[in-house]
A = this chain, B = another copy of it.
Amino acid sequence: MLGRGGAAPLDEVFGVLSQLLAAHPGPAVEEVDAGEALGRVSAEALGAPEELPAHPRSVMDGYAVRAADTFGASANLPAYLTISGEVKMGEMPTGGPAPTECYRIATGGLLPPGCDAVVMLEHTVPAGDNLVEVVKPVAPGGNIIAQGDDVQRGETLLPAGHRLRPCDLGLLAGLGLRRLKVFTPPRVGIISTGDEIIPPEKTPPPGKIRDMNMAGLLAMVQNQGAIAVNYGIVGDREADFVDQMQRALAECDMVLFSGGTSVGVGDLGERVLGKLTTPGILIHGVAVKPGKPVIVAAHGHRPVFGLPGHPVSAAASFALLVRPLLASLGGLKPPVTATAEQDSATSIGPPKADHGDQAVPHDRLRLPRPVATAILQRNLNSAAGRTDLVPVKLQSTPEGILAAIPVLGKSSALSTLVRAQGWIIIDAHLQGLDSGSQVAVYNFDTPDLF
């Protein structure tokens, strides 16, 4: 077990999580209606069953022409074309204009036989009932979208492991793909421990406090597109904890519990996980602040996280450790355009070379992309060898520069996070950050943007 008696560096923890992922059978697959697929993760590469558009179409209002008939046309020396017909919207034109003739066409109209371009209405002048002056030439292919210009038949549109966006759903609708194979989202069981914890709807008698971690963790899990299941508060009674943990392990793909990881309750979490899980506890203590007293365990391929009882520590541990694992268990892959370099640029996990040919999908075990760059407004100290997360408020200076103001406070004071708009990270190899440094600002609330 890593971290026992100390704290495991974050990169070692990522190594352990990567191995867990490598052994994981992967998420189940289900089929959904395209109308229900927003935000879901594609479980197969989506290929085009047909080409788009199926026929060349006009992308402008104007006249369908042979481009050659307009060559050299200008305002001084226009080309005169006879309007010999009209393309009806939604109908396939059976005939087309003869040379030096044209057809009226609207945006989206199908190009008639013989034509290879559309002259924009704006580049024409009416010259009688059935005659038009073309005052600017159009090149072959001008103002049309050719057959297959948008999508070629058989082309891969989207890879597996892609979170479906509105534009993706638009294109899939255009191709008639109405049933989609997507990954079943991971089911995450959440347990709160602690004799002092009561449900939020109750009024705490002296000595008790309302459970903040359950509400926060349920929402964090939901925000990542996973299913959160509330297994309630078990107090510090080992038998209750064992019962709920057994249920959660049987019903979920991942289990989180908060509290019960520090020595005060005789390491309740450690005892329960020792009894119920195989291979059991992999890590006890991670070199991060806040969030040191974390337990990482596994039961078969189900990860189990014992998160700190302090709400800010629990949120930081979730952001750093649970969030990327959840993304992988949900089937998310990095976008196809990402290169190995891109991953390592923001990676906080072990470099790929460490794992050779094991095909460990730890490219997801990384920070999301920062959402802003800002200037730090005060010195921050940090112990070398420890990764620090600091909540920051963002404010613009009169010069339009974004300023990151650390919101300092105890890790049990959740109001510090509520007053913040993001986090900055002090890498383990640094002993702090100077006021005036440029810092990357992270937001862990949303799924990865790209």
Chain A residues near B (Cβ < 8 Å): 34-35, 38, 52-55, 57, 59, 61, 88-92, 105-110, 121, 145, 149-151, 157-158, 165-176, 178, 194-197, 200-220, 222-223, 235-236, 259, 262-265, 309-311, 315, 335, 337-339, 341-342, 344-345, 369-373, 393-400, 402, 409-415, 417-418, 421-422, 443, 445-446, 449-450
Contacts and interface: CB of A to CB of B under 8 A. Distances in A.
Given A337-B421, A449-B446, A412 B309 contact: no
Given A90-B195, A171-B418, 10 more contacts: A53-B412, A61-B264, A92-B207, A108-B264, A110-B207, A150-B413, A167-B315, A173-B216, A338-B395, A445-B449
A176 B149 contact: no
A47 to B, nearest CB: 12
A121 to B, nearest CB: 7
B59 A411 contact: yes
A261 to B, nearest CB: 9
A222 B290 CA distance: 35
B449 A371 contact: yes
3 interchain residue pairs of minimum CB distance: A106-B264, A170-B216, A342-B396
Nearest to A413: B150
A226 to B, nearest CB: 13
Contacts of A399: 341
Contact of A200 (B34, B212, B337): B34
Given A108-B194, A335-B421, A410-B59, A396 B341 contact: yes
8 contacts: A52-B415, A89-B236, A89-B264, A91-B207, A107-B310, A166-B315, A171-B212, A337-B394
A402 B345 CA distance: 10
Contact of A157 (B220, B222, B415): B415
A210 B176 contact: yes
Contacts of A108: 194, 196, 209, 259, 264, 309, 412
Contact of A413 (B61, B145, B394): B145
Nearest to A62: B264
A397 B106 contact: no
B195 A89 contact: yes
A176 B309 CA distance: 18
